[in-house]
Amino acid sequence: MRGPAAVEEVTWRTDELEVTALPGIGCRIHRLRAFGVDLLRTPDTPRRHAEEPFFWGAYVMAPWTNRADPGPTTIAGRRVDLAPDFPDGTAIHGLVVERAWERTGKTSFRTAPAPNGWPWAHDVTATIELAGSVLRLAYRLTNRDDGPMPGGLGLHPWFRRPVGVALSAGSVHPDNGAAEAEHVHPIGRFALDGGPPPDGLDATWLDVEPPRVALRWPELGLAARMTLDAGGAPVHLAVATPAEPRATAVEPVTHRPWGLRRLADGRPGGMRLLAPGEAQELVITLEISRDEGPRTHLAAEDGVWLNR
């Protein structure tokens, strides 16, 4: 069994929200409760996150997101040799999913992963803040090495179903498991216009603009607006609706799927090279409210739900 024998829980509360993080297991969000209702796929005990780290709560992805090729390759003059850690044989979602983080303040945390096949020194910080019905999550990946380092950040929440998703994007990478898939126009099953996404999706919507996503849980009577900021860089959104777990992943990320391979091949959407001391940031603001009735459309100009 992986993970610490005792799991530390850190909880913040307002009248509207309750958030619990697990610093010892990836500084992940174990619970997000709004108006007394759980919005994430939350296990009955925090220990389950250590046993099944990819399928609960909301976890940080860094220094890359999505999949990377295992085995040796050369990037920016360094030898990268990642170990596979997913059933499909890839190295997935970075190095911090299960790693212990240290608390650096009332709402802040930090981790500095060991090399583990990634030849650059780096650290990742997180700040978790609540104000009324608003949750603000700020993540920063910093290159602490003496040479340029590929850098990517993301958050992988598993939301309870059914959840409606609405966003605006000009194209979508239709299969996150297929590195060479060509992006397509988001029509048909890829049109996320407010209803629950169809089953079996595992795709990434590219250059979400405006950088906002609307979420709605009609059975729970709740809605949310997710606002994204990557320091002016494009933000993409991966969405997955697998048969198991019965939850919907809505993942803000700073690079396209297979970003390390894209960087090596010189293709668009690859991971960004961070200079020594440079950081990649990702700020996710989730504003949650009680749902006031049937709404199915996301206004592109302001990212809010509109009545029919």
- Give the CA dihedral 51, 22, 205, 301, nearest 10 degrees: 160
User: How far lies 139's CA from each of 13, 249, 280, in Å?
Assistant: 20, 19, 8
Distance CA 112, CA 12 (A): 24
Q: pLDDT over 90 for what percent of the chain?
A: 91
The whole model's pTM is what? 0.93
d(CA 15, CA 18): 8
* Confidence bin at 293 (pLDDT 50/70/90): low
Bridge partners (DSSP) of residue 122 are 143
Mean residue pLDDT of the chain comes to 93
Whole-number pLDDT of residue 181: 92
- What is the per-residue DSSP string for 15-26? SSEEEEEETTTT
The terminus-to-terminus CA distance of the chain in angstroms comes to: 50
Region 233-260 average pLDDT: 97
Is residue 294 a contact partner of residue 223, using CB atoms and an 8 Å limit?
Answer: no
Mean pLDDT of 114-130: 95
Give pLDDT, residue 299: 41
Residue where the block lists tokens 């090495």: 145
d(CA 149, CA 173): 25
pLDDT category at 115 given cuts 50, 70, 90 is confident
C-alpha–C-alpha distance, residues 194 and 197, integer Å: 8
Q: Over the stretch 31-83, which tens digit does the pLDDT of each residue have?
A: 999 999 999 999 999 999 999 999 999 999 999 999 999 999 999 999 999 99
Question: Looking at domain 61-307, does it have CATH number 2.70.98.10?
Answer: yes
> Domain map of the chain by residue range?
61-307
Confidence of residue 306 (pLDDT cuts 50, 70, 90): very low
Radius of gyration in angstroms for the set of CA atoms belonging to the chain, rounded to a whole number: 18
Please tell me the predicted confidence (pLDDT) of residue 294. Answer: 54
User: Which pLDDT score, from 0 to 100, does residue 5 have?
Assistant: 59
* pLDDT (mean) for 205-227: 97
Give Cβ neighbours of residue 38 (< 8 Å, ≥ 6 apart): 31, 32, 160
8 A C-beta contact, residue 79 and residue 87? no
pLDDT for res 116 = 79
> Strand 71-75 relative to strand 171-173: parallel, antiparallel, unpaired?
unpaired
What is the reported pLDDT for 31? 98
